[in-house]
Amino acid sequence: MYVNSGYLNNSRLPVVDKSKPLIVTSVGTYHVKNKKRIPTLRPKGRIDYQLLYIASGKAHFYFNGKDTIVSAGHMVLYLPREEQKYEYRCEDKTEAYWVHFTGSQVKGILRHFDIPLKGNVFYSGSSEEYKEIFNSLIHEFRTCPVGFSEMAEMYLRQLLLIVQRTRLERKPSVNTFVQAEISYARKYFFEHYSEDINIKDFAQSRHMSVSWFLRSFKQMTGVSPMQYILSLRIENAQILLETTDYSVNEIATIVGYENQLYFSRIFKKQKGMAPTEYRKMINK
């Protein structure tokens, strides 16, 4: 069996760190060759996120007590506190890679790259690029050069981007025209999210019917255009609360809300706490 791994600050303890949008805390790989089985059981899960990639062979994952065989070319995402039970077996010749990560913007980042937050298992395709990225991550954690944590974040984002491209290219029901239009819409919303965007006007400016645009956008992103814009506003508000001294009223205006009270209600509905409470929690 071949094992290689690296840990942030040489600690194997899982952490929750909201000081940055995305923080990689550990990474590693298993190549099962002679050991009969390598089981993992975490009934209460972990407090961070875990993404596993099956590079070759297969692995056994148990969801709700059911044995699910995950073959090469697929990934498994575990959310915090989600029960983890899986094993690698010698006869399956499993080659698997894993990465743990935390941060204040993890869910938003995963949604941005179209990574499913439900269902655990999803198609990623088999690619040497994935292995190269994981091995590069391991090297960063083993050698700890200047800026290795920032480099690790870049590698993880690159990994998620390749997964996104692979998954979009695989969808037979979405043609090139649809992909291009929704890609344009997402880019436009990202650049203008703080403005008063009228979805009907936007669709007409692209010579599309509103119903077709709404249906196609949700098909490719999993959310409606307004939900997508809302997530951009809240994610950027979080960053401003974490990294600046702007008042809540100023931040509300920056991300597109003229009414501070309305912004605070929306923020609390999305994040479970008011902006002022969120800032206090971050600055503890």
Instruction: Indicate left, alpha or beta for 144 from its phi (over 0: left) and psi (-120 to 50: alpha).
Output: left
CATH 2.60.120.280 occupies which residues in the chain?
A: 2-170
**Domain range 2-170, CATH class:** mainly beta
CATH 1.10.10.60 occupies which residues in the chain?
A: 172-284
The confidence score (pLDDT) of residue 175 equals 62
CATH architecture of 172-284: Orthogonal Bundle (1.10)
The confidence score (pLDDT) of residue 251 equals 94
The confidence score (pLDDT) of residue 177 equals 76
Mean model confidence pLDDT for the chain = 90
Residue 172 in this model has a pLDDT that exceeds 80: no
The confidence score (pLDDT) of residue 183 equals 87
The confidence score (pLDDT) of residue 280 equals 86
pTM: 0.61
Give the number of other Cβ atoms within 10 Å of residue 214's Cβ. 17
The confidence score (pLDDT) of residue 227 equals 93
pLDDT classification of 70: cutoffs 50, 70, 90: very high
